[in-house]
């Protein structure tokens, strides 16, 4: 067995072994990780948290619940080595923010002994399992795991518990313009909208239209299938300058064949068309001198 097999096995069983089935705090306790209470002031948000956006209306709703019932779901944390009696939040930052707003002084926590990589994995899985993470933050979290910890998409799919195609399609959303991402982050557009917008030549303009008119995902997909949009999506051939056109004519006259030049940066391509094997033989003889 290779040296990394125990680690792979540990992660391969799913991070549910660390965080419980879909974040069920009872399952966490049953797995030998008892919860205890800690002052809210001792908890610190993680800079690696895949969640970057917190919708105000969601926070207000959760704050009202916490004010009435307290923090029921434990917050997953790990100890901070550089700060005594302090913990870094792995999963549950939104609960921590709501507790602060509600004036709650302490909350249940479960302390985990995990690496940076495992902490990020848990944060992503905990949020994704709850369908609680918007698609852009989810994609950024995947990208961080790939860039920081050298994951392949296949390995990431195995650890996160999603299909390889889901990982790939989610990562593609990072190619969208920032203005479109902002609509997804604030909830104006869904991940389905975002995927459909990727196929359009001007996703930013289409996104503004979708938000203004309240278009459904099917509506945006229909926009992509429209004939006028398809024609816009075809790249236009760059206009050739006069020098290039003149050189094409000179080469065509010298060879007696149709010659096309396609400049690309400092170089380019030269295409020579022949209509018969005799023309090809003639060209070969000339090239050989």
Report which of 94, 83, 76 is spatially closest to residue 16, judged by C-alpha positions: 76
Q: Is 94 exposed, middle or buried (0-12, 13-18, 19+ CB in 10 A)?
A: buried
- What tokens appear for 99 in the block? 């507790």
Catalytic annotation on 61? no
Q: Exactly one of 25, 93, 121, 126 is catalytic; which is it?
A: 93
Per DSSP, the residues of 161-208 read T--HHHHHHHHHGGGS-HHHHHHHHTTSS-HHHHHHHTTSS-HHHHHH
Long-range contacts of 78-84 (CB under 8 A, 24+ apart): 78/111, 78/112, 78/113, 78/114, 78/119, 79/111, 80/44, 83/44
Cα separation, 43 vs 80, in Å, equals: 10
Give, in degrees to the nearest 5, the angle at Cα 44 between 42 and 45.
155
**CB-based contact 175:203 (threshold 8 Å):** no
Distance CA(102)–CA(66), nearest Å, equals 7
Catalytic residue set: 93
């Amino acid at each position: 067995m290779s040296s990394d097999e125990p680690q792979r096995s540990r992660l391969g069983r799913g991070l549910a072994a660390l965080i419980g089935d879909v974040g069920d705090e009872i399952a966490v306790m049953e797995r030998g990780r008892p919860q205890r209470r800690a002052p809210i002031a001792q908890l610190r948000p993680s800079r690696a948290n895949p969640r970057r956006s917190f919708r105000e209306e969601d926070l207000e709703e959760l704050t009202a619940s916490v004010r009435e019932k307290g923090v029921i779901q434990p917050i997953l944390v790990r100890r901070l080595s550089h700060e005594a009696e302090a913990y870094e939040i792995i999963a549950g930052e939104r609960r921590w923010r709501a507790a602060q707003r509600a004036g709650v002084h302490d909350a249940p926590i479960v302390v985990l002994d995990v690496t940076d990589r495992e902490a990020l994995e848990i944060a992503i899985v905990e949020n994704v399992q709850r369908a609680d993470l918007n698609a852009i933050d989810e994609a950024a979290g995947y990208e961080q795991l790939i860039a920081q910890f050298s994951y392949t998409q296949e390995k990431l799919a195995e650890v996160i518990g999603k299909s390889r195609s889901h990982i790939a399609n989610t990562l593609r959303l990072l190619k969208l313009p920032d203005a479109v991402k902002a609509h997804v982050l604030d909830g104006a557009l869904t991940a389905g909208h975002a995927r459909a917008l990727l196929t359009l030549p001007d996703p930013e303009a289409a996104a503004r239209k979708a938000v203004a008119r309240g278009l459904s995902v099917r509506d945006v997909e229909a926009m992509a299938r429209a004939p006028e949009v398809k024609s816009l999506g075809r790249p236009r051939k760059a206009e050739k300058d006069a020098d290039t056109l003149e050189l094409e004519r000179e080469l065509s006259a010298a060879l007696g064949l149709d010659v096309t030049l396609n400049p690309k940066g400092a170089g380019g391509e030269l295409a020579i068309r022949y209509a018969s094997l005799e023309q090809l033989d003639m060209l070969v003889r000339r090239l050989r001198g």
